[in-house]
Amino acid sequence: MKVALYGYGKLLTKTAKYIENTDGIEIVAIVNDVLNDGSGQGMILSDAGGYEKYPGADGLPALKNIFDEGAAEAVIVACENELISFVTRRILSAGIYDICILPTYYENDLYDIDDKSFIWIDNTKPRLDYIEYHISFHCNLNCKGCSHFSNLIKEARFGNAERFRKDMERLSELFWGIGKIRLMGGEPVLNPELPQFVYIARSYFPDADIRVVSNGLMIRETDTELFKAMRECAVYFDVSMYPPTKGCISRLDDICKKEQVMLTVTPEVGEFGASLNPKGDSSPAESYDKCPARHCVYLQDGKVSTCAMPQLIDIYNDHFGCNIKPGTSDVTDIYDPGIKGIDIIERTKRPMEICRYCYPERRNFKWQPSLSPEASDWVGGESN
């Protein structure tokens, strides 16, 4: 097979070296493609620099000519995960339909490329950029004003692995891939079935950047089944560095290196933000435009929403006797007859009715634990 490579950096280098040592695949061009972003230099989407032994294709018109002339049969995309959806749509817009991608985790030296690493996209479906799911609803920390209300849940409450499997299967029918899957909570490590969720997510979405989002305090050397699942499935620990976590980052790094599990750590989380407006008189459009969670598509029991609020607000309502209700269109059933992936994307990229219950401006406060939460902990505005 004759292929053109579209990518840059370490992943492109690794891909080219693999192909050079593989029978049956020939590189006929490496694409130069720059998106004008107003910076003067532009955003590099694909760069043939350093590969002078291969012909360069300067931009999409040159790539299209290569295909029109029959010199290439497919494009292999090897770029950072956040660009894959944009890049594949860009290539499809040029009338090139035989596209496969190399997942970004192969950039890590822990993972070697083989013939099963390349994922052919189904260009009849879109790719969903992001989804998050609660492995556990409760948590070992009691953060004041937790945005997912985990500090209000006093008994163990877990996601259901079999339901998660069915939902992942359904999403795989609607999308050719998902950019990022965050398995979170609450504290996901509290769920003894967490390894099952890891295997399920990877089995349906081999392209995804999958993260177990944890505060890190319960990650131990003895979690052998979890480490095995994460290592085999190329899944990251994504540790949120709350003040109690700060002192154990070095230990976590040592554990993950020993277990050959990828680890990322956020900057220290010193502040939380409150934005709830109990009066419900905010402008949904303005609140949505300024919301840091507007891209955090949330999945729960076969339903998705633009953020977690429509599906978790009952936790707050039940605890404090409130009556904040999402709109009927705020939550989408992924099993609705006739629904398509593009419908879900469009519905999760617009304001929801429940956005009127959030102030556009957040009230920031210092991170602290709270053993006696009050309804006002979540209320935004200049005063609460």
- How many Cβ atoms from other residues are within 10 Å of residue 72's Cβ? 23
C-alpha to C-alpha distance for 309 and 312, rounded to whole angstroms = 5
> How would residue 38 be classed by pLDDT, with cut points 50, 70 and 90?
low
Topology annotation, domain 127-378: TIM Barrel (3.20.20)
pTM of the model: 0.95
pLDDT, position 285: 97
CATH number of 2-120: 3.40.50
Per-residue model confidence as pLDDT tens digits over 158-179: 999 999 999 999 999 999 999 9
Residues in the chain: 384
Angle at the Cα of 14 from the Cα atoms of 12 and 15, rounded to 5 degrees: 65
Cβ-proximal residues to 350 (8 Å cutoff; 6+ apart), any chain: 288, 306
Q: What is the mean pLDDT of residues 226-233?
A: 98
The secondary structure of 121-132 as a DSSP string is: --TTS-EEEEEE
- Per-domain residue ranges for the chain? 2-120, 127-378
Q: What is the mean pLDDT of residues 46-73?
A: 89
Per-residue model confidence as pLDDT tens digits over 356-369: 999 999 999 999 99
Percent of the chain with pLDDT over 70: 98
